[in-house]
Structure 1
Amino acid sequence: MPTLRLALLFLLIATSTVLHVVPLLLIALLKMVLPLPRLRAACNLLLTGLAASWIGFNNWLWNTFTRTRLTLHGDADLQIDGHYLVLANHQSWVDILVLQKVFNRRIPLLRFFLKRQLFWVPLLGLAWWALDFPFMGRYTPRQVAKNPALAGRDIEATRRACEKFRAIPVSIMNFVEGTRFTRAKHAKQGSPYRHLLKPKSGGVAFVLDAMGEGLHAILDVTIAYPAGQPSLVDLLANRIPEVRVRVRERPIPAELAGGDYQNDREFRVRFQQWMNGLWREKDEDLDALLASAASSRSDGRS
């Protein structure tokens, strides 16, 4: 029975993906071939509408086929026509579905910075391209040491993406740790945080620099899985009892917007200190979310 359930859900997801991605690609090609300003604006609305519809169907599957509770904390004043930088911790591919469930049709479509290799994911890679998701090289320090020119490529890709985003409502998504949390990575880093890897500040600084005053707030998202880190199959198999999410809306510090993170050492230190402080608070938020879940389970047994 579990195998049949998974097969059915994968079939529904695949069918919905095809039905949404095919018209999405046709509209993207029309936008590329006939780059008229009004036509581009109309195409952008259709593209984001199709993406929101696809996400909405995935959310319907979540509600219909799982008993996973999503408990949301926070009082952010979300706007569908806002301009946000969204920051979150990263533990699982389920994080993306959680973020989409929390924010779909409440803020502009989340756009992720993706590894360049993901362009080749069947159908989805082309869909991400059509929706102007930026593809990054994500070069290792060893690669940059051998070829310093590589360091500038991702910065330039960030700037190009942000230029596109200036003219439209946007939510730029950044998993600041740069990779999914594991205990092994945590130990290898010697991370000072209990539940988090060290934050990588560069990507956040480059977005704030490139967007200037084009962003009006940061949405700081903390995702907690009280039953432990799940996989995507765990969600589809109904093995995740609860997800807890806290959303904090933060102002963008004026002194940190528009600085030269790469070349100005003093600015880089200030930015990293701000990012580390935000991460300490996120670690405390994770502690509180997990503790409140444990308390709820204990009260339920008593």
Structure 2
Amino acid sequence: MSPSPLPAPLRGVIAALLLGVNTIACCIPLFIIALLKLCLPFASAQRVADDLLRRIHERWISLNNLWIDHLARSRWHVSGLQGLDYQHSYLVTSNHQSWVDILVLQYVLNRRIRPLKFFLKQQLIWVPVIGLAWWALGFPFMKRYSKAYLAKHPEKKGKDLATTRRTCAKFRGKPTGIFNFAEGTRFTPGKHREQQSPFRYLLKPKAGGIAFVLDAMGEQLESIINVTIHYPGGNPGFWDLLCGRVHDIVVHFEELPIPADFIGKSYDQDEAYRARFQQWVNELWAQKDHLLEQLHKQYQAHS
């Protein structure tokens, strides 16, 4: 795609305005339908409301994709999308390098599978406008307890998993896309050194989040979609995307079958299963690290 004639800061301001207007315009009908859903607790009304909320969510992503195409003007290198089905449920996981990752995933997966639902910290529900929108769309909010807190309050142990089970129960019988950043945080050289990560391009994965979703709704999930994202020009900030400075975006998808012996197991209670599952996730991350090494070499000329 040819370069935009607009200066990068001007593109950033226009893109930010379009994102804001799109969000407000979509949130108005979103909140109205969410309130009607609360007032009409009948199965048929709930189904209609859920369908309308999903369509608004997809429209919000589609309109964002328009300004990404015309203002960000990135070159996309996408592989492995074949075989995904809109009527199936998936657990999606990815490496995490930037807040841009979320828009990248939404851009590529919109209407290929159901809109992704992220597990969010409970405090994020108070984020103006967006927090309420996440609630209206049925995003699962989690109250996480630190190891230090659990040491003082052992009665809270297992509450995270119980909350995950209750949340995932709402998705039963409905095609759903559940998303989890296995690393739990964005990659930075500082975090990489602090962790003493065995991987070159990745932080250590946290297997618990994936395992809890499999425990809660593994029989409903079609497969795991393992995503690898690479930015040849370096990890961008959100403002970089708005300004059109993210010239190349590489996204590789791999659909993985869920091992049968991972279904119906308890990650927090079964020590042998927990060790086996952690090893499986670490092997996935070792393969992802090797793929990122190849992508760094393959797309170095485009950075």
TM bucket, shorter chain: over 0.9
1:142 Cα offset (Å): 2.0
Q: Which consecutive aligned stretches of 4+ in structure 1 deviate over 4 angstroms post-superposition?
A: none
Corresponding position of 1:181: 187
Aligned-partner residue type, residue 249 of structure 2: V
Which of 89, 96, 100 aligns to 1:94? It is: 100
Q: List per-residue Cα deviations over 1:231-253 (Å, max 9, x = no partner).
A: 10000111111110110000000
> Percent identity, aligned pairs only?
49
Residue 192 of structure 1 is aligned with which of 194, 198, 209? 198
Q: Select 1:230's aligned residue among 219, 229, 236.
A: 236
TM-score normalized by structure 1? 0.95
Q: Is 1:24 matched up with 2:24?
A: no
Aligned CA-pair RMSD: 1.4
- 1:214 is aligned to 220
Aligned residue runs from structure 1 range 1-302, under 5 A:
1-294=7-300, 296-297=301-302
Give me the TM-score of the superposition, normalised by structure 2: 0.95
Q: Which runs of 5+ in 2 are unaligned?
A: 1-6
The number of residue pairs the alignment matches comes to 297
- For 2:48 and 2:212, the matched residues in 1 are separated by 29
For residue 250 of structure 1, what is the amino acid of its counterpart?
A: L
Instruction: Judge conservation of contact 2:8–2:245 (CA < 8 Å) in 1.
Output: no
Per-residue CA shift, 1:13-65, capped at 9, x if unaligned? 11111110111111111111111111110111100000000000111110010
What is the identity, as a one-letter code, of the residue corresponding to 2:112? Answer: R
Task: Return 5+ residue gaps in structure 1 as ranges.
Answer: none
8 Å Cα contact 1:82/1:170 also seen in 2: yes
Post-superposition shift, 1:6? 2.4
Distance between the aligned counterparts of 1:76 and 1:283, measured in 2?
Answer: 22
C-alpha distance in 2 between matches for 1:5 and 1:225: 20
Q: Counterparts of 2:204 and 2:144 in 1: how far apart (Å)?
A: 17
Letter of the 1:39 counterpart? A
Equivalent pair of 1:118/1:125 in contact (CA under 8 Å): yes
CA separation of 1:240/1:3 partners in 2, compared to 1, >3 Å: closer, same or farther? Answer: closer
Answer yes or no: is the 8 Å Cα contact 1:166–1:211 preserved in 2. Answer: yes
